[in-house]
Amino acid sequence: MDYWKLFLGFLRIGLLGYGGGPTMIPLIHAEAVKKYGWITDDEFADVLAMGNALPGPIATKMAGYIGYKVKGAAGAFIGITAMVVPVLIGMILLLGLIYRLKDSGVVGGMTSGIQPVIGVMMAVLACEFFKKAWTSLPKAKTIVWTAISIVALALLKVNPGLLIGAALAYAFLETTAAGRRRKRPAERDKGVSA
């Protein structure tokens, strides 16, 4: 049964994820976190960060990770296949039609009409991530990272992968340093008691 749910969940994402990876992220969140509970919000944030930092399409990396977590290698295969193959078949079948209609006002209107919906989906997901950061991180750190992200992405046009890589490196260095600081008093206490 889990295989079938995995297949259907990622099939829906693949079929409804108009515009590629970034538009699929809210759909992946809806299926994997909210509908099926395959991963938690925290795991989703980690998978999203990891997927952005690694090369290749983010949606397939997320499908592979989530599928693997749910049902191992077979789950990863099912998740990726369910997401990619229907879209690939649709592209092959519709490519000629799309090419002939690419300058059509109808196709242009459809593309323009869907963009606000995609924008709202991304904004809702961004708000959910911000709320989670606001409650789980120090407020100052949330504000600083939000400001850095806005400046880097909107003003400086930094590649999102580079920004995520920098944030991951900072988090790694900070947690490593915090672990060392906690270890030192414990080592001193051991030396005193010996």
Kindly report, residue by residue over 47-98, the tens digit of the pLDDT: 888 887 777 788 889 999 999 999 999 999 999 999 888 878 877 877 777 7
Phi-psi region of 90 (alpha: psi -120 to 50; beta: other; left: phi over 0): alpha
Window from 30-39, 84-93, 158-167, 184-193 with minimum mean pLDDT:
184-193
Domain co-membership, 108 together with 147: no
pTM over 0.75: no
pLDDT number for residue 17: 75
Domain co-membership, 79 together with 152: no
CA angle 9, 28, 146 (to 5 degrees): 170
> Which pLDDT band holds residue 31 (cuts at 50, 70, 90)?
very high
Q: Which of 79, 112, 145 is the last residue of a domain?
A: 112
Domain co-membership, 83 together with 7: yes
* Domain region containing 149: 137-194
pLDDT number for residue 167: 86
| pLDDT reading at 104 higher than 90 | no
pLDDT number for residue 68: 94
pLDDT number for residue 37: 93
Summarize the confidence of residues 108-120 as an average pLDDT.
Answer: 77
pLDDT number for residue 188: 64
Model pLDDT for residues 128-176, shown as the tens digit of each residue: 888 888 888 889 999 999 999 999 999 999 988 888 888 888 888 988 8
| pLDDT reading at 192 higher than 60 | no
Q: Which of 112, 145, 179 is the last residue of a domain?
A: 112
Domain co-membership, 188 together with 101: no
Task: Indicate the number of domains in the chain.
Answer: 2
Spatial CB neighbours of 90, under 8 Å, sequence gap ≥ 6: 15
Domain co-membership, 107 together with 142: no
40, 132 Cβ separation under 8 angstroms:
no
Q: Is residue 131 part of a domain?
A: no
Summarize the confidence of residues 183-188 as an average pLDDT.
Answer: 68
Domain co-membership, 105 together with 158: no
Domain co-membership, 6 together with 89: yes
Domain co-membership, 5 together with 99: yes
Q: Is residue 130 part of a domain?
A: no
| pLDDT reading at 30 higher than 80 | yes
Domain co-membership, 11 together with 94: yes
Q: Which of 112, 145, 164 is the last residue of a domain?
A: 112
Domain co-membership, 100 together with 144: no
Domain co-membership, 76 together with 160: no
Scored b (16 or more CB within 10 A) or e, 20-34 reads: ebbbbbbbbbbbbbe
- For the chain, first and last CA: distance in Å? 57
> Which pLDDT band holds residue 193 (cuts at 50, 70, 90)?
low
